[in-house]
Structure 1
Amino acid sequence: MIRGIRPLLRGSTYSGALFVYCGALLSMPLLPLAMLPALVRRSAPWGVQIGLTLLIWAALIAVVGLARTTRRVLISCARRLLKVPLPDPVPTRRPARAPGTGPAPAASASAAPSGADRWRTPLWLLLYVALGWTGGLGSAVLLGTGLALPGGWTGNDARVNLLGRSVRVTGASSWVLALVCLLLVPVVCAAVTSTLRWLAPRLLGPSSAERLALAAERELLLAERNRLAHELHDSIGHTLTAATIQAAVAGEVLAADPAAARAALRSIEESTRAALEDLDYVLGVLREEQAQAAPTRTLADLPELLDRLRHAGALVEPELSGELTQVQGTLSRAAYRILQEGLTNALRHGAGGPIEVRVAATPDGLELSVVNRTGPGAGTGPGSFPTSGHGLPGLAERVRLLHGELEAGPHGPRHWRLAVRLPVRLSA
């Protein structure tokens, strides 16, 4: 009982009813246009004229519902006045592919709305107008009857026309019937509001094509955020490792070799500034702000990366071959991050000694490898600290998206090797 009365006490019921009744008023400007054919053929029977007018009126309302602007306005009004959670309509064009995320997902293909989807909004608009007229006229009749039954509140007898028969209502019964009519007005408001709320998600909600576009958009968003997580892990992880080693070196040689200590501190400043640029970009994207141009680290920045490692006291032996300058775009950025992660792991978990870095560009592939010593003392240096363990899985995911191959494991006596091969197309 209480559950049935509760909708009558909500303000949203009456704001929704107001929205429904406005549908009847908004359809009025189309009525004169619908009456023109009936006015031309005045010789037709009244029933034919009325039926023709209603048919043309419904057709005009449906045509208005085909406009995309109409759909957006109806969705916005339904959210505000009916309190129905409806998403904004989304375009069904093919979304752009995030860089470095591989081919676009199958769900992102352009999905044109079907004929049934196109007519969902016109059908909703027709039902909306029909409910507006039905509910509005019903509420007006009930309200007028409730006010008129008691004889203008003077206590005089009243007559009510029921099923074609005039019934005389006298005395207290007129007041009871008037009260019933007045109480039925909010019931009608709740009924039309509930009906339109039930119809809104089914006819104004996402169509099949829009659901595909929403799924593709969510998939691309997750792929972009995963890519940003990999970028942030590689950049910040490497910077913290190198800065920890450089700070330890600076502390040891501060008194004996101030110049070396200053060089280590300058290297810390440069590496942390680069990491801050990456962090600012990632946070801007995550906050959905207008981010600046994304910081790009490519194979062209590899010498700077190796110099920072040397300032940290690491012995790096690079071997570069092929036309590395012709490796461009996503592949060059991915190669830089892969080498950065491999070198970071060598600093964290290596046992000292030289770190061998090999980069070879061939006509059909880009080969990357990082080899470092392992054994007693591995992972106990100044650059070692607990890690999340996401480095190699992140590398494997990055390589998989680029259709490459990855090998990581022991390599000969007391060595660890990270080897990656990526398919490449050299630019002309």
Structure 2
Amino acid sequence: MIKGIRPLLRGSTYSGMLFAYCGAVVSLPLLPFALLPLLAWRSAPEAVQTVLVLLVWAALIGSVGLARITRRALIASARRLLGVPLPDPVAARQPARSGADRWRTPLWLLLHVALGWTGALVSGVLFLSGLVLPGGWLGAEVGLSLFGRSVRVEGGWQSWVVALGCLLLAAVVCAVVTNALRWSAPRLLGPSSAERLALAAERELQLAERNRIAHELHDSIGHTLTATTIQAAVAGEVLSADPVAARAALRSIEESARAALEDLDYVLGVLREEKAETAPTRTLADLPELLDRLRHAGAVVEPELSGELAQVQGTLSRAAYRILQEGLTNALRHGAGGPIGVRVAAAEGGLELSVVNRTGAGTLTGAGSGAFPTSGHGLPGLAERVRLLHGEIDAGPHGPRHWRLAVRLPVRWSA
């Protein structure tokens, strides 16, 4: 029984009833316009006139519901007063609504107004009855008259019982009206099928963008931290013996950190859904700078560049840079010293990228050497990036005690 009366004790029940009352009040300004047809048909029977007024009134209310601003206002108020989690309508990219979808808001508005008036009249009569009936506690009879019908209640404790019953029924009416509005709000104010598809497509684009940002962050920050760790170790070892080399390593650390901060600012701006600065664009044109940072870290790099790299289009060029950056980072982390071979060959048939480095014992399967922690997301991320570009990737042992990352990407030459 306690569970049954629990809705009557919640404040949300009465805030929902307030929402229903608002629907009744807002419809009042349209009532005078609904009475205008009676001026031209005064001879009609009273019942016909009543039906005509109600029909015109309903048509006017429904026409208000056709405006998109009405739907936005109803969704906002339903969220606040009914506590229903309704998403905002799809904005400018909203698809064309079908006929059934177009009439959902007018139907909701009519239901809202009808429940508002019904709830207001019934609960109002019951509430007033609950307040008036106890007036007969001195023994006098109390009578109520409504719409030509009269009810008389004898004084005494019977009036108190009937009064409490009226107040309880008024609360029940509030709960029923509120629950009816809550049940119908998601069905009539919620997203339509076309809007759900649009929201799903928008969500998919957001997830794709966040995955791309995650790849960018992993490639950029991961490479920078690896390179700066090695450069700091080199600077510490040669600080006394070769100050010039130490200063060069420290300058390289500064440049790497600055580039990583630019990438990080852009990523954080996107994740916060703020208007970020222009995205850092690292392309194959920045490859010499990347190789110089590796040399400052003490690595021996043997590049082999061929073809018109400047003719590679922007998106592919940026992806190729990130792929090489990830391959070189893995070579620094897991390599066992020795030269790192970097090959970039651009031709009309495709763009070929490869990184070959010497590996220590037990690292031919791609496991880390233990010098640097690794999340294990590098190669899967590369494979996903290459797959999206319709390319081919091969990573694994290459000859005795060597590891090779080889990628082939289709090329479209820029005009």
Please indicate the TM-score interval, normalised by the length of the shorter structure: over 0.9
Q: How far is the alpha carbon of 1:125 from its aligned partner? A: 0.7
| C-alpha contact 2:313 2:412 (8 A) present in aligned 1 | no
Mean Cα deviation higher: 162-171 or 115-124: 162-171
Report if aligned partners of 1:368, 1:420 keep a CA contact under 8 Å in 2: yes
Q: Which deviations, in whole Å up to 9, do the C-alpha atoms of 1:182-228 show, x marking residues without a partner?
A: 33222221221111111111211121112112222222222111111
For residue 413 of structure 1, what is the amino acid of its counterpart? P
- Alpha-carbon distance, 1:400 to partner: 0.6
2-side partners of 1:285 and 1:334: how far apart?
Answer: 19
Identity, in percent, stands at: 81
Letter aligned with residue 414 of structure 1: R
- Which of 331, 337, 342 pairs up with 1:357? 342
**Residue 82 of structure 1, CA deviation:** 1.0
| Partner residue in 1 for 2:306 | 321
Q: Alignment partner of 1:366: what SS?
A: strand
**Take 2:67 and 2:150, find their aligned partners in 1: how far apart are those partners?**
48
Give the superposition deviation at 1:355.
1.5
Query: Which whole-Å deviations, capped at 9, do the CAs of 1:137-175 have from their partners, x for residues lacking one?
Result: 112222333344456776432345699875543222334
Letter in 2 for 1:70: T
Aligned 1:393-412 pairs, distance under 5 A: 393-412=380-399
Give 3-state SS (helix, strand or coil) of 1:222's partner: helix
Counterpart pick for 1:346 among 328, 331, 335: 331
- Aligned match of 1:54: 54
* TM superposition shift of 1:4: 1.7
Q: Does 1:134 align with 2:118?
A: yes
Q: Provide the C-alpha distance between the structure 2 equivalents of 1:170 and 1:382, rounded to a whole number of angstroms.
A: 95
Aligned partner of residue 171 in structure 1, secondary structure: coil
Q: Give CA deviations for 1:28-80 in whole Å, capped at 9, x if unaligned.
A: 11111122112211122222221111111111111111111111111110111
Please report the TM-score for the alignment, with normalisation by the length of structure 2: 0.92
Q: Could you tell me which residue of structure 2 aligns to residue 366 of structure 1?
A: 351
The match for 1:234 is 219
Q: Which residue of 2 aligns with 1:418?
A: 405
Change (3 A) 1:313 1:290: same
Q: Is the 8 A contact 1:21 1:132 kept in 2?
A: yes
Match of 2:31 in 1: 31
Deviation at 1:252, TM superposition (A): 1.9
CA distance in 2, matches of 1:341, 1:383: 18
1:381 positional shift: 11
CA distance 1:321–1:157, change in 2 (3 Å): same
Structure 2: tracts of 5 or more residues without a match:
none
Q: CA deviation at 1:364?
A: 3.7
The one-letter code of the counterpart of 2:31 is L
The within-5 A match list for 1:295-314 is: 295-314=280-299
Query: Could you tell me which of 365, 375, 387 is aligned with 1:388?
Result: 375
Give the C-alpha shift of residue 404 in structure 1: 0.8
The residue type equivalent to 1:158 in the other structure is V
Which deviates more, 369-378 or 273-282? 369-378
1:157 equivalent in structure 2:
141
Q: Name the SS for the 2:97 alignment partner.
A: coil
SS at match of 1:156: coil
Instruction: Give the equivalent residue in structure 2 for 1:210.
Output: 195
Do residues 260 (structure 1) and 266 (structure 2) align?
no
The one-letter amino acid paired with 1:129 is: V
User: Secondary structure of 1:314's partner?
Assistant: coil
TM-score, normalising length: structure 1: 0.90
- Residues 322, 360 of structure 1: 8 Å contact kept: yes
Find out whether 1:87 has 2:72 as its counterpart. Answer: no
Write the distance in 2 (CA, Å) between the matches of 1:151 and 1:36.
43
The 1:162/1:294 distance shift into structure 2, 3 A limit, reads closer
Amino acid at match of 1:290: K
In structure 1, distance between residues paired with 2:326 and 2:142: 91
CA distance in 1, matches of 2:39, 2:47: 13
Which of 265, 272, 285 is the aligned partner of 1:280? 265
- Is 1:123 matched up with 2:110? no
User: Closer, same or farther in 2 for the Cα pair 1:154/1:342, shift >3 Å?
Assistant: same
Q: Judge conservation of contact 2:368–2:374 (CA < 8 Å) in 1.
A: no
C-alpha RMSD over aligned residues? 2.4
Amino acid of the structure 2 residue aligned with 1:410? P
Distance in 1 between the 2:146 and 2:71 partners?
42
Look up the equivalent residue of 2:287 and give its one-letter code.
Answer: L
Equivalent pair of 1:396/1:406 in contact (CA under 8 Å): yes
SS in 1 for 2:36: helix
Q: Deviations over 1:297-316 (max 9, x none)?
A: 11111110011111112111
**Are 2:158 and 1:171 aligned?**
no
Measure the CA separation in 1 of the matches of 2:368 and 2:20: 73
User: In the aligned structure 2, how far is the partner of 1:156 from the partner of 1:180?
Assistant: 20
Q: Is the 8 A contact 1:327 1:424 kept in 2?
A: yes
* Corresponding residue of 1:248: 233
Distance 1:244 1:43, change over 3 A: same
Deviations 1:78-130 (A, max 9, x none): 1111111111112483xxxxxxxxxxxxxxxx853332222111111110000
Instruction: For CA contacts below 8 A with separation 6 or more, give which structure has more relative contact order.
Output: 1
